[in-house]
């Protein structure tokens, strides 16, 4: 067995969160090994947020051009996927090559090890024949992979996940999208706007089921206006592929055919691969259970999708900031401990950096490490109109027994919505805790729904009293001014 190599920190998985933790700890002077088996940066830059938003930007440009007819004359639009595919290939992903990201990490002083890492006992990580002993800790950032339901016949077909949908160079003539969540709807609308005949099949009784029902209605109407067929309440039971076309059979005899099938029915963490049993952590959980400093157990932290706290890049980055502060606080404690002289010779530079970070107030002592707080977790579905939401939905708030007040206004009845005219679908919905006099949730749907959301995130995060929200000044005529109308509706 290989002799373990002692380092300060090992990060398994260099997705969004892992790359941030590993890079910042390396910059702070710790010896950091980052292990990645695919591309440094993870899902977001190569198959997620960034390329999908490039697709959406292009599809929205087509939609805006089509709106010229209602506002400014006439426009003829000729969609062409080639520039979109080229931009994703060349600008977003470097043809799915992570050299820039890998160099960014090693440029900060980190050491990149390619391969699959797994825990191998307390503070130990194995990658192939290499074993590392982590003096200060191990950070797990192994993310999620598409969760493909066990539908009869599906596994034997060339179905797409988000990877193939993002990498596509030639659009199919038709596409079945299995799953009406955020990713399914975003991609469905993009492909429809480029002329693909798209059908969305969703098992629940509405699309975007985790958001407010009003948001589901607006999103479904918008996609239908783009020509997307939406079937809700249909459970997929069997899939066939005859070499060129897919047929999806649902309950009640429903059947749908298309050239391609995109499966976007959620994502799953693969904890069984991580050697968690060697450190006494239950690998049968759905996600890694973490405390509010993202600790899994002594000396092990987790960040990102694998924690199950929200599958968003902004969650991974938020958590990364907490883990960085906590690991540095630990490193400082170790330096100050009884055997500090033993470690100081090995990690003198690291300790110096950690101490200076503490002195400058960037991370603070263990006592001042920030705690994770997800009350004001924002989420945006980048359909057109965008669906932004923060905190609790009305239903979640009522289920918690909160004395709920609801405020609602349609965007079209605001001055800006009226001016905007075509494409002004949307609303603001506010959920207030009447006893506390604060907002605990909000939804902002509209052409700039995700941007308008920011004001509502501040309100929920900082528990701004409703009286103050009612008496602040909202610029005229902005979309966010509709928040004021919804506040009036609360009373
Ligand atoms: C189509 C799509 C669109 C999205 N759009 C948005 C959006 O607009 N906004 C947003 O906030 N989020 C979006 N997301 C979600 C976002 O991509 C994820 O939340 C984010 O990537 C999670 O980052 P992470 O830090 O958990 O790591 P991930 O990006 O999941 O990366 C984990 C990394 O760990 C590696 N790994 C796993 N196991 C091992 C192992 N044992 N050893 C070594 N390496 C390992 C993997 O190869 C991977 O690179 C989107 C996702 C998809 C699929």
* Ligand 1 near 312 CB (within 6 A): yes
* CB-CB contact of 67 with 56 (8 Å): no
Pairwise CA distance, residues 426 & 443, whole Å: 10
Q: From the CA of 36, how far away is ligand 1's center (Å)?
A: 12
Report whether pLDDT(352) > 50.
no
What average pLDDT does this structure show over 174-189?
A: 98
Q: Which helix H or strand E contains 249, and what residues bound it? A: strand 246-250
Which residues, at least 6 apart from 151, have a Cβ–Cβ distance to it below 8 Å?
236, 237, 238, 239
Report whether pLDDT(235) > 80.
yes
Q: From the CA of 89, how far away is ligand 1's center (Å)?
A: 18
Q: How far is CA 202 from CA 71, 183, 213, 217, in A?
A: 35, 13, 15, 14
* Ligand 1 near 314 CB (within 6 A): yes
Q: How far is CA 323 from CA 28, 30, 93, 290, 300, in A?
A: 13, 14, 27, 11, 10
Q: From the CA of 9, how far away is ligand 1's center (Å)?
A: 21
* Ligand 1 near 141 CB (within 6 A): yes
From the list 41, 37, 36, 51, the residue with the least C-alpha distance to 15 is: 41
Report whether pLDDT(279) > 90.
yes
Of 348 and 45, the one with more pLDDT = 45
Ligand 1 pocket test target in 11, 14, 15 with most atoms within 8 Å of CB: 15
Report whether pLDDT(240) > 50.
yes
If pLDDT is split at 50, 70 and 90, which confidence band does 355 have? very low
* Ligand 1 near 44 CB (within 6 A): yes
If pLDDT is split at 50, 70 and 90, which confidence band does 338 have? low
Return the residue matching tokens 């603001």. Answer: 428
Query: What per-residue confidence (pLDDT) applies to 1?
Result: 60
User: In percent, how much of the chain has pLDDT > 90?
Assistant: 91
* Ligand 1 near 391 CB (within 6 A): no
Query: What per-residue confidence (pLDDT) applies to 368?
Result: 84
Which residues, at least 6 apart from 53, have a Cβ–Cβ distance to it below 8 Å?
382
* Ligand 1 near 262 CB (within 6 A): no
What SS3 state is found at 380?
strand
* CB-CB contact of 8 with 347 (8 Å): yes
Report whether pLDDT(361) > 50.
no
What atom of ligand 1 comes closest to residue 166's alpha carbon?
A: 1
Report whether pLDDT(336) > 60.
yes
Report whether pLDDT(335) > 90.
no
What atom of ligand 1 comes closest to residue 116's alpha carbon?
A: 42
Provide the pairing of β-strand 124-127 with 130-140: antiparallel
Report whether pLDDT(353) > 70.
no
Q: How far is CA 303 from CA 51, 60, 134, 314, in A?
A: 22, 33, 17, 11
Query: What per-residue confidence (pLDDT) applies to 2?
Result: 65
Query: What per-residue confidence (pLDDT) applies to 359?
Result: 31
Q: Could you tell me the pTM of the whole model? A: 0.94
Q: Where are the beta strands (DSSP E) in 29-144?
A: 32-36, 111-114, 117-119, 124-127, 130-140
What average pLDDT does this structure show over 82-93?
A: 98
Query: What per-residue confidence (pLDDT) applies to 309?
Result: 97
Q: From the CA of 421, how far away is ligand 1's center (Å)?
A: 37
Q: From the CA of 39, how far away is ligand 1's center (Å)?
A: 10
Dump pLDDT digits (tens) for 298-332: 999 999 999 999 999 999 999 999 999 999 999 99
Query: What per-residue confidence (pLDDT) applies to 319?
Result: 98
Q: From the CA of 6, how far away is ligand 1's center (Å)?
A: 28
Query: What per-residue confidence (pLDDT) applies to 243?
Result: 96
Q: From the CA of 360, how far away is ligand 1's center (Å)?
A: 32
Ligand 1 pocket test target in 11, 13, 16 with most atoms within 8 Å of CB: 13
If pLDDT is split at 50, 70 and 90, which confidence band does 348 have? very low
What atom of ligand 1 comes closest to residue 43's alpha carbon?
A: 29
Length of the chain: 491
If pLDDT is split at 50, 70 and 90, which confidence band does 339 have? low
* Ligand 1 near 143 CB (within 6 A): yes
Dump pLDDT digits (tens) for 191-229: 999 999 999 999 999 999 999 999 999 999 999 999 999
What average pLDDT does this structure show over 159-166?
A: 98
Query: What per-residue confidence (pLDDT) applies to 487?
Result: 98
Query: What per-residue confidence (pLDDT) applies to 367?
Result: 61
From the list 33, 13, 472, the residue with the least C-alpha distance to 288 is: 13
What average pLDDT does this structure show over 102-112?
A: 98
Query: What per-residue confidence (pLDDT) applies to 491?
Result: 72
* Ligand 1 near 11 CB (within 6 A): no
Report whether pLDDT(343) > 90.
no
């Amino acid at each position: 067995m290989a002799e373990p190599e002692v380092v300060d920190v090992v990060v398994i998985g260099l997705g969004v969160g892992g790359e941030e933790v590993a890079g910042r700890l390396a910059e702070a002077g710790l010896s950091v090994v980052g292990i990645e088996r695919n591309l440094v940066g993870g899902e977001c830059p190569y198959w997620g947020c960034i390329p999908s938003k490039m697709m959406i930007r292009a599809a929205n440009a087509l939609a805006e051009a089509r709106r010229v007819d209602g506002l400014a004359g006439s426009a003829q639009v000729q969609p062409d996927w080639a520039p979109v595919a080229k931009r994703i290939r060349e600008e977003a992903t470097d043809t799915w090559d992570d050299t820039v990201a890998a160099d960014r990490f090693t440029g900060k002083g980190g050491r990149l090890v390619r391969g699959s890492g797994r825990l191998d006992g307390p503070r130990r990580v194995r990658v192939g024949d290499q074993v590392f002993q982590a003096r200060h800790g191990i950070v797990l950032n192994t993310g999620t992979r598409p969760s493909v339901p066990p539908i009869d016949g599906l596994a034997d077909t060339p179905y797409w996940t988000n990877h193939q949908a993002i990498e596509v160079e030639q659009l199919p003539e038709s596409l079945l999208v299995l799953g009406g969540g955020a990713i399914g709807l975003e991609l469905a609308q993009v492909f429809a706007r480029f002329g693909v005949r798209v059908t969305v099949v969703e098992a629940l009784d509405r699309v975007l089921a985790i958001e407010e029902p009003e948001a589901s209605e607006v999103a479904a109407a918008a996609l239908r206006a783009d020509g997307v067929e939406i079937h809700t309440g249909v459970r997929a039971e069997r899939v066939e592929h005859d070499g060129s076309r897919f047929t999806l059979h649902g309950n009640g005899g429903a059947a749908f055919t298309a050239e391609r099938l995109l499966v976007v029915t959620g994502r799953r963490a693969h904890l069984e691969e991580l050697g968690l049993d060697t450190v006494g952590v239950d690998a049968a959980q759905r996600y890694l259970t973490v405390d509010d400093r993202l600790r899994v157990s002594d000396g092990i932290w987790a960040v990102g999708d694998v924690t199950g706290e929200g599958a968003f890049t902004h969650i991974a980055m938020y958590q990364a900031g907490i883990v960085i502060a906590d690991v540095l606080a630990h490193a400082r404690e170790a330096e100050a401990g009884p055997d500090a002289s033993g470690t100081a010779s090995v990690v003198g530079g690291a300790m110096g950096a950690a101490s200076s970070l503490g002195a400058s107030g960037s991370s603070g002592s263990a006592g001042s490490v920030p705690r994770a707080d997800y009350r004001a977790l924002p989420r945006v579905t980048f359909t057109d109109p965008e669906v932004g939401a923060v905190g609790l939905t009305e239903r979640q708030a009522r289920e918690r027994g909160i004395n709920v007040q609801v405020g609602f206004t349609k965007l079209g009845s605001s001055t800006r919505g009226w001016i905007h005219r075509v494409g002004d679908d949307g609303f603001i919905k506010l959920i207030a805790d009447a006893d506390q006099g604060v907002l605990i949730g909000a939804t902002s749907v509209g052409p700039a729904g995700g941007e308008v959301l920011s004001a509502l995130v501040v309100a929920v995060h900082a528990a701004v009293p409703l009286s103050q929200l009612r008496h602040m000044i909202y610029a005229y005529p902005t979309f966010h001014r509709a928040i004021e109308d919804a506040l009036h509706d609360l009373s």
